[in-house]
Amino acid sequence: MKFDMTSQTLREARKYEEAFGKLILQQERPSFHLSPRTGWMNDPNGFSWFGGKYHIFYQYYPYDAHWGPMHWGHAVSADLLHWEYLPAALAPDEIYDRDGCFSGSGLTLPDGRQLLMYTGVVRERLADGGCNEIQTQCIAVGDGVDYVKYHKNPVLDGRDLPEGGSKYDFRDPKMWKEADGSYGCVVGNRSADGSGQLLLFTSADGFAWHYKKVLAANRNRFGRMWECPDFFALDGKWILLVSSQDMLPSGFEYHNGNGTLCLMGDYDREREEFTEESNQAVDYGIDFYAPQTILTPDGRRVMIGWMQNWDTCGYRRKNDEAWFGQMSLPRELSVQNGRLYQKPVRELEDMRSNRISYENVRVSGPCSLDGIRGRRIDMELVVRPEEGEELYRKFAVRFAQNDLYYSSLSFRPGESILKVDRKFSGSRRAIIHQRRCKVNHKGGLLKLRVILDRFSVEVFVNDGEQVLSAVLYTDQEAEGISFIADGIAKMDVIKYDLV
């Protein structure tokens, strides 16, 4: 099989990334979070297992560290943590996608080829000088490196929409394979009420797709337009992941702006009916959006997201950076007590070295511990009250710290609030620097797992009950870690380097 019909646009992108990707030094990138080969990255796309490797594609503009006409970047990995770049897979080079190859998904066809489905974008000029983007779903087939766009593209367009569905907001197809060999797919769409809906399509062969029904409707409950859906069974429940634009805040669960939510419920396969039972935020930190999941060969449901948020992209606005955007850690999903749990993929444990641990450390005021430092670490903390003493009022851990900078996690057991704060991380922009969420704890006992990788922090609370993610562009020399308690707290710490 040969797939060598690359266009001039794709050849140029490949030449460019090959030449300029090399100029970015390893230490200028995250070490085990995927960043773009060059230029800009947003959403993960086509997350799949193909040819004995994990493949991930991403929304990509190689020529600059800001968003531009979307290509698909491409990388492969054996362990979901060490990624090797492959040449860009898709470029906006056809009449139906000339203004961008937006997000989509991938799977393997019975004949061994890889099938990609993405959103083709074409800008339509309006008489008043503005423009509309027509969005359609398109297909490309390939061998894991080179892809040929299907001659019958687009495979879904405005004519496949239900009454009132907008052809301008119709994007991000996520496909799956059914047990009988047929295919399903869910696509984000804007409905007549101005908010989002998820449309279900089916196909016998992965090429000819048919509209089935509205699988879920936002009805202006959670933000407006719904992007980047995913739909799968997990531990006896059905999960719909969706990334919502223009959210209004709701308690400590949802925040203003873009956010990712999980709708959990039941699915009647016969009637193709999803019944919502509960909803929750997917990430309680600052930077997380547009996640996509894969079912690994050993049966784990693993999710990876864009560790960024459209509203906070300005953090790194010097415009002289060689790259922008990174993926989150891949996270194993499960349902426990009716909630979505996330844990870093177990492969991360193979990267651990230099274990240092302390037990029953009494923290009252500030303290630091020998050997507990670093910007590429996996650190487990258990904090609890001192027996016979009154409940501490606040416990905090500071990291990425030196004389000038630090970021922190602070916990107030009296209010059950955990806060991530990067105000003093070196940011010079007026963006969101703090996020608070409600956490569960037993009388002041809280478990945290903190993972740092050069330019980010991800915090897994209570064995994955909640996660908070944020990017940090603090100078790498700031690698101190310290602990502070208002009152008296007891703490166990285990720290590993991740190198």
- Just list the catalytic residues: 43
Q: Which secondary-structure segment (H or E) carries 8? A: helix 8-21
Number of residues that this document lists for the chain: 499
103 binds ligand FRU (CB under 6 A): yes
Nearer to ligand FRU, 311 or 486 (CB): 311
From candidates 41, 65, 70, 215, binder to ligand FRU by CB under 6 A: 70
Phi/psi at 228 (5° precision): 45, 60
The DSSP-derived string for 361-380 is EEEEEEE--TT-B-SEEEEE
Do the beta carbons of residue 492 and residue 382 sit within 8 Å? yes
Q: Which is nearer to ligand FRU, 103 or 469 (CB)?
A: 103
Amino acid, single-letter form, for residue 274: F
Nearest distance, CB of residue 70 and ligand FRU, angstroms: 5
Q: Which of 42, 105, 427, 469 binds ligand FRU (CB under 6 A)?
A: 42
- Stretch 210-229: interaction string toward ligand FRU, x if CB under 6 A: -----------------xx-
Q: Binding mask 341-360 vs ligand FRU (x if CB under 6 A, - otherwise)?
A: --------------------
Which of 281, 240, 274 is closest to 260 using CA atoms?
281
Distance of CA 279 to CAs 344, 413, 429, Å? 22, 25, 32
Decide if residue 198 touches ligand FRU (CB under 6 A): no
Q: Which residues contact 279 (CB under 8 A, 6 or more apart)?
A: 222, 261, 262, 263, 264
Closer to ligand FRU at the Cβ: 291 or 487? 291
Smallest distance from ligand FRU to CB 472, Å: 21
Question: Least distance to ligand FRU from the beta carbon of 94, Å?
Answer: 17
Which lies closer to ligand FRU via its Cβ, residue 62 or residue 413? 62
Interacting residues with ligand FRU between 110 and 129 (CB under 6 A): 119
Omega cis (within 30) before 154: yes
| Binding residue for ligand FRU, selected from 40, 50, 54, 102, defined by CB under 6 A | 102
Kindly state whether residue 59 participates in binding ligand FRU, applying the rule CB under 6 A.
yes
Q: Where are the beta strands (DSSP E) in 163-317?
A: 170-177, 183-190, 196-203, 209-217, 226-234, 237-247, 257-268, 273-281, 289-295, 301-306
Per CB under 6 A, the list member of 141, 155, 264, 290 interacting with ligand FRU is: 290
Q: Residue 172 interacts with ligand FRU (CB under 6 A)? A: yes
Is 43 among the residues that bind ligand FRU (CB under 6 A)?
yes
Phi-psi region of 185 (alpha: psi -120 to 50; beta: other; left: phi over 0): beta
- Neighbour count for residue 75 (Cβ, 10 Å): 20
171 contacts ligand FRU (rule: CB under 6 A): yes
169 touching ligand FRU, by CB under 6 A: no
β-strands 434-438, 417-421 pairing:
antiparallel
The distance of closest approach from Cβ of residue 50 to ligand FRU in the complex, given in angstroms and rounded to an integer, is 21
**For binding to ligand FRU (CB under 6 A), which residues are involved?**
42-43, 59, 70, 102-103, 119, 171-172, 227-228, 289-290
